[in-house]
Structure 1
């Protein structure tokens, strides 16, 4: 193994870093999200490992519930996560309710993990290839559900102490492992050098596509060097630190 690769992996070993989400905090977040649209009644689909809140788009809610329950045990096994709590999803059917509920002023994503709850934007509103999301396989493979579930578990396991770039890299790595889907960038962009310090301190100021890809590369390189068990142990130790 090349010295530089070993050094890069060692650096990443020490990068595993914020606030744990208690049950009460999670419940408060869910209540706040649902309260933003108090005109329309919220329905719920209860799965074995998930709850999906929706208003009219029951079929999409069912897809989210089935996908969440399908991948839940895979994530639990890999992350050695011993919680039995259900993951709450809120399906927003308009961009207005999504942005106002989450106070989102930037470009609206397909999904986002927020303080113990996962918000999903209706596939009818996704900007690219709208027609594809009517196909179950497309939604299961390329939708945001698995990605955001991984953020949920990483945040819980580390008690909120995982840096943003590292959490994104981990989510992309395991998303590819589970669904074989990898969000990609141009080859010439992959050759651009982004340091660990830049990712750690300026993640949101970097070009988003490049920042996400380089974060994925960091995690992939780490796993190649040390394996997933060491990564998971590092996350666990991060959550056990008190400071």
Structure 2
């Protein structure tokens, strides 16, 4: 799960102050015209940095496990489970780093929590089964010691959340929610050989239109359907154009271009047209219909 710090109630006031300040600064330095998305990237990045300033004291009572690429904070007495998490994190980064041509500039913070409820308490939202969250340059996951997974590598959240982290670093937060969720699921399926919604596929019938998926992703009633459609979109993109097109899109987004313009320039179709085409093909195979 990816939570945008600029879309949570506690950060909105800070965000708007930063946005207005950056707008005036941008106009002062560069003049008009300006790119709103570029201002958004600067505001988003600064907000993450401000939020991360509290991490040292927020987790001051946690123990630390350091690996070549991660600082893992934990409170569980079961240190063996943290070694499992550390191994999974380094293993995931090796593959994801190759796919996205990404190497972290500093150790990535992972916070291992003891209970699912701890995620809710961290972010003041009702946890509906999430075992991992990416938030403001940090990854929060349920400790392997607290999970019922038979295999933490195959079933745990680390691949999914680390994908969110990498995408966020590469694009500066300038992407729609479905895009990062689709990529996270795609990487999970490729790396582990499993797709988490495999048993639910026969129950998906009336699909969401693109305008709904991209407009209010988190508010859609059937979240599993929304995630599945996101996965289908990414899977089709990679199969059609190769994974390198994903890296080109991310690079373009980091320069402050809109997602719609970037997608059109790289795919020669609007994301809405491409999305509808993919879903129509998929639904014809299943005999389903597209929601109006």
TM-score (norm 1): 0.79
The answer on whether the counterparts of 2:92 and 2:158 sit within 8 Å (CA) in structure 1 is no
The answer on whether the counterparts of 2:78 and 2:145 sit within 8 Å (CA) in structure 1 is no
Whole-Å separation in 2 of the counterparts to 1:83 and 1:187:
36
By relative contact order (CA 8 Å, sep 6+), the higher-ranking structure is 1
Q: How does 1:164-243 map to 2 (within 5 A)?
A: 164-184=177-197, 185-206=199-220, 207-241=222-256
Unaligned runs of 5+ in 2: 1-39, 259-292
The answer on whether the counterparts of 1:20 and 1:156 sit within 8 Å (CA) in structure 2 is no
Match of 2:68 among 42, 48, 52: 48
Cα deviation 1:103-123 (Å, max 9, x = unaligned):
233425111101110001234
2:206 match: secondary structure: coil
Structure 2 equivalent of residue 14 of structure 1: none
Match of 1:57 among 61, 78, 98: 78
1:91 match: secondary structure: strand
The answer on whether the counterparts of 2:189 and 2:195 sit within 8 Å (CA) in structure 1 is yes
Aligned length: 214
Unaligned runs of 5+ in 1: 1-16, 36-40
Post-superposition offset of 1:177:
1.2
Whole-Å separation in 2 of the counterparts to 1:94 and 1:58:
16
Structure 2 equivalent of residue 92 of structure 1: 113
Whole-Å separation in 2 of the counterparts to 1:104 and 1:62:
29
Post-superposition offset of 1:45:
0.7
1:31 aligns with 2:56: yes
Q: 1:85 to 1:230 in 2, by over 3 A?
A: same
**Which protein is bigger by CA-based radius of gyration?**
2
